């Protein structure tokens, strides 16, 4: 399958890239066509922020998908999803600091002291910066064990993003709560005991299919 | 304060509002293109995108004259927003929470016949239809509207001071507050089928606020009847308070003794208070109110105390802690 495409681009990976770029393309299209509201900066802020949140959640869904369903190949898109999340977060940050506040640091400082959710979102963005920089294979090699430790910072970043998303709502927080619930599930699956339970369950199934009568084989697989 | 008496629709031909609107649409795209250019992504329109500045009508290229809305400004000299801006960016949760979708959803909503029942602690309770209300007068009032979400517009309303209607029903001395209730019609107003908010929309004013000359009931916009998305056929406009106080599509007005509980107070009592006066010094619990974006402008502008009407209304709140009475 993969061999038919250069650079080992599979249809699955292509679909993920297209889906991740879709919000940006749609945003540019809507700006081009004049489909944004009369408050376009706010539209851009909301849409880039939402895309960043969704893609960060998607990148955090990769490991749980592997744990629960054993679909190893989704691993291949994890870095791309994380980098796309960072791209949208960066556009979101630029929209706020540049388009909205024109780099007026005095104004931004005044507003930040009264808007806790801005600080929370900014903290999440700051966390994502080193993760994006060290996302390459080279950095992975150089940092060795510490790479994994560093990249576990994506969990607090995800939590901060959800807090940011909840706090920015006027009153109705049903949608952010759905996403927060999803993130919570994705984090729970990673807990060692939960993870073990899913892995064992999966291995038992595989073993049962291969050799339904042999218990010893099942044990070695575990 | 003096207000122009000529209907705005006679001053600014409609095609001019529209061409300005087209320009504003393009402006958003240019701003984003500039943003992308800075990230190394090729911009859509090349070099022109590098200057995202939107200095308003004066900088408009092409067909639009330098000051298309000349003569139609608020008393501070800021130009009125266009018909399209005012009628296509609406918070009207009875229809939808999407501001750009309200106009489309509100189209064709029946506003005739319409009755406004005025009662409670009054000597002379009455029910008015819209023609009765128009008899209280029709004057243009160009007011700033500041939304609690930190955007604002300048809007040429047509209406009359609420005080005239209140005097006509003769409030009793026990009456301390005015309670307003909007239309309740879940069959045609899909937002009212949601249980997130306690419908119908209710708002309230202290009697002296309601009697203030700046407080109007509006029946028109730009010299035309009010479109549904702006609160047809009759709405309250209290220009020194956040926009949500200016309740739309009113069906009932009661004079009462106790402070009414508004829909927003019921939804989030620690965030939306009864007074809701525009005040840059008092932040919303989760966001600042120091600055605002005037729709159509590129730069944020500082929010003014009482939305710029402090001279007229500050005395209403003398000796009141505005942080407590937010």
- Residue of B300 and A4 predicted with greater confidence: B300
CA gap A105, A138 in Å, rounded? 36
- What pLDDT is recorded for position B269? 86
Q: Please check whether residue B82 is in contact with residue B17, taking contact to mean a CB–CB distance below 8 angstroms.
A: yes
Structure-token pair, residue B179: 């309670």
Place of tokens 């009113």: B250
SS3 B256: strand
Residue among B38, B39, B88 whose CB faces A38 most closely: B88
- What pLDDT is recorded for position A204? 87
Cα of A119 to nearest chain B Cα, Å: 11
To probe the interface with B, which of A33, A40, A168 has the most B CB atoms within 10 Å?
A: A40
CA gap B57, B24 in Å, rounded? 9
- What pLDDT is recorded for position B67? 37
- β-strands B116-120, B250-256: how paired? parallel
Query: Which residues of chain A from 71 to 90 reach within 8 Å of chain B, CB to CB?
Result: 90
- What pLDDT is recorded for position A106? 86
CA gap A144, A138 in Å, rounded? 10
- What pLDDT is recorded for position B196? 86
What is the average per-residue pLDDT within A22-43? 94
> What are the distances in angstroms from CA B110 to CA A137, B130, B184, B188?
64, 13, 13, 10
- What pLDDT is recorded for position B159? 97
- What pLDDT is recorded for position A7? 57
**Res. A8 pLDDT band, cuts 50 70 90:** low
- What pLDDT is recorded for position A9? 66
pLDDT in tens, A121-152: 999 999 999 999 999 999 999 998 999 999 99
Query: Which residues of chain A from 173 to 202 reach within 8 Å of chain B, CB to CB?
Result: 174
- What pLDDT is recorded for position A2? 44
Q: Please check whether residue B179 is in contact with residue B133, taking contact to mean a CB–CB distance below 8 angstroms.
A: no
**Residue B20's closest chain A neighbor by CA?**
A38
CA gap B303, B155 in Å, rounded? 17
CA gap A93, A130 in Å, rounded? 16
| Omega before residue B113 within 30° of 0, cis | yes
Segments of chain B scoring below 50 in pLDDT: 1-4, 9, 11-29, 32-69
Exposure b/e, B268-306, CB count within 10 A at least 16 = b: eeebbbbbbbbbbebbbebbbbbbbbbbbbbbbeebbbb
User: Strand runs (DSSP E) across B86-184, as ranges?
Assistant: 116-120, 126-128, 139-146, 151-161, 177-182
Exposure b/e, B80-115, CB count within 10 A at least 16 = b: bbbbbbbbbbbbbbbbbeebbbbbebbeebebeebe
Phi-psi region of B310 (alpha: psi -120 to 50; beta: other; left: phi over 0): alpha
Q: Which helix (H) or strand (E) holds A88?
A: helix A78-94
Interchain contact B100–A (C-beta under 8 A)? yes
> What are the distances in angstroms from CA A160 to CA A29, A45, A52, A100, A205?
30, 17, 13, 22, 37
Q: Can you give the pTM of this predicted structure?
A: 0.78
Q: Please check whether residue A82 is in contact with residue A154, taking contact to mean a CB–CB distance below 8 angstroms.
A: yes
Q: Please check whether residue B243 is in contact with residue B280, taking contact to mean a CB–CB distance below 8 angstroms.
A: no
Bridge partners (DSSP) of residue B152 are: B146, B294
Structure-token pair, residue A94: 């630029």
Cα of B316 to nearest chain A Cα, Å: 27
Cα of A122 to nearest chain B Cα, Å: 15
- What pLDDT is recorded for position A113? 78
- The gap between the terminal CA atoms of chain B, to the nearest Å, is 27
> What are the distances in angstroms from CA B137 to CA A112, B72, B159, B217, B218?
46, 21, 7, 10, 10
Q: Please check whether residue B105 is in contact with residue B188, taking contact to mean a CB–CB distance below 8 angstroms.
A: no
What is the average per-residue pLDDT within A80-93? 98
pLDDT in tens, A46-65: 999 999 999 999 999 999 99
Average pLDDT, chain A: 89
- What pLDDT is recorded for position B8? 52
pLDDT in tens, B245-286: 999 999 999 999 999 999 999 998 888 999 999 999 988 877
pLDDT in tens, B133-161: 999 999 999 999 999 999 999 999 999 99
ipTM of the complex: 0.75
- What pLDDT is recorded for position A215? 53
pLDDT in tens, A176-186: 999 999 999 99
Bridge partners (DSSP) of residue B142 are: B156
- Residue of B64 and A29 predicted with greater confidence: A29
Q: Please check whether residue A160 is in contact with residue A39, taking contact to mean a CB–CB distance below 8 angstroms.
A: no
For chain B, list the domains and their CATH numbers: 1-72 (no CATH), 73-78+104-317 (3.90.420.10)
């Amino acid at each position: 399958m993969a061999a038919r495409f250069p650079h080992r681009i599979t249809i699955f990976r292509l679909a993920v890239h297209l889906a991740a770029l879709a919000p940006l393309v749609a945003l540019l299209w809507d700006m081009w066509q004049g489909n944004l509201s009369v408050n376009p900066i706010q539209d851009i802020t909301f849409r880039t922020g939402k895309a960043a949140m969704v893609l960060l959640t998607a990148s955090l869904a990769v490991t749980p998908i592997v744990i629960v369903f054993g679909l190893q190949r989704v691993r291949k898109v994890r870095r791309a999803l994380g980098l796309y999340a960072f791209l949208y977060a960066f556009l979101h940050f630029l929209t706020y600091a540049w388009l909205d506040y024109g780099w007026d640091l005095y104004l931004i400082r005044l507003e930040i002291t009264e808007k806790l959710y801005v600080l929370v979102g900014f903290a999440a963005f700051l966390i994502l910066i080193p993760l994006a920089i060290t996302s390459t294979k080279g950095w992975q090699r150089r940092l060795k064990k510490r790479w994994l430790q560093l990249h576990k910072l994506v969990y607090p970043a995800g939590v901060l993003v959800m807090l940011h998303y909840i706090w920015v709502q006027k009153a109705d927080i049903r949608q952010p709560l759905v996403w927060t619930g999803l993130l919570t599930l994705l984090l729970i699956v990673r807990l060692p005991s939960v993870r073990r339970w899913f892995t064992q369950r999966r291995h038992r199934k595989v073993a049962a299919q291969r050799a339904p009568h042999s218990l010893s084989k099942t044990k070695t697989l575990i | 304060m003096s207000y122009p008496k000529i209907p705005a629709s006679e001053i600014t031909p409609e095609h001019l509002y529209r061409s300005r609107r087209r320009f504003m649409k393009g402006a958003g795209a240019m701003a984003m293109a500039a943003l992308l250019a800075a990230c190394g992504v090729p911009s859509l329109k090349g070099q022109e995108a590098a200057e995202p500045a939107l200095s308003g009508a004066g900088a408009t290229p092409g067909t639009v004259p330098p000051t298309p809305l000349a003569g139609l400004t608020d008393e501070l000299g800021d130009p009125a927003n266009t018909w399209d801006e005012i009628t296509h960016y609406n918070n009207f949760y009875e229809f939808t929470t999407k501001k750009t979708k309200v106009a489309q959803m509100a189209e064709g909503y029946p506003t005739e016949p319409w009755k406004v029942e005025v009662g409670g602690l009054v000597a002379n309770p009455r029910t008015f239809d819209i023609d009765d209300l128009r008899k209280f007068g029709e004057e243009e009032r160009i007011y700033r509207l500041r939304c609690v979400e930190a955007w604002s517009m300048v809007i040429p309303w047509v209406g009359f001071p609420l005080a005239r209607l209140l005097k006509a029903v003769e409030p009793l001395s026990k009456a301390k507050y005015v309670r307003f209730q909007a239309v309740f019609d879940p069959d045609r107003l899909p937002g009212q089928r949601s249980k997130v908010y306690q419908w119908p929309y209710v708002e309230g004013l202290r009697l002296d606020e309601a009697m203030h000359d700046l407080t109007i009931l509006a029946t028109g916009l730009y010299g035309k009847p009010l479109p549904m998305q702006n609160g047809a056929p009759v709405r309250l406009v209290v220009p020194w308070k956040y926009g949500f106080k200016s309740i739309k599509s009113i069906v009932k007005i009661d004079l009462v003794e106790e402070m009414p509980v508004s829909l927003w107070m019921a939804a989030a009592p620690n965030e939306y208070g009864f007074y809701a006066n525009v005040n840059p010094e008092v932040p919303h619990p989760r966001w600042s109110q120091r600055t605002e974006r005037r729709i159509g402008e590129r730069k944020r502008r500082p929010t003014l105390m009482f939305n710029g009407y402090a001279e007229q209304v500050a005395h209403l709140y003398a000796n009141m802690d505005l942080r407590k009475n937010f």
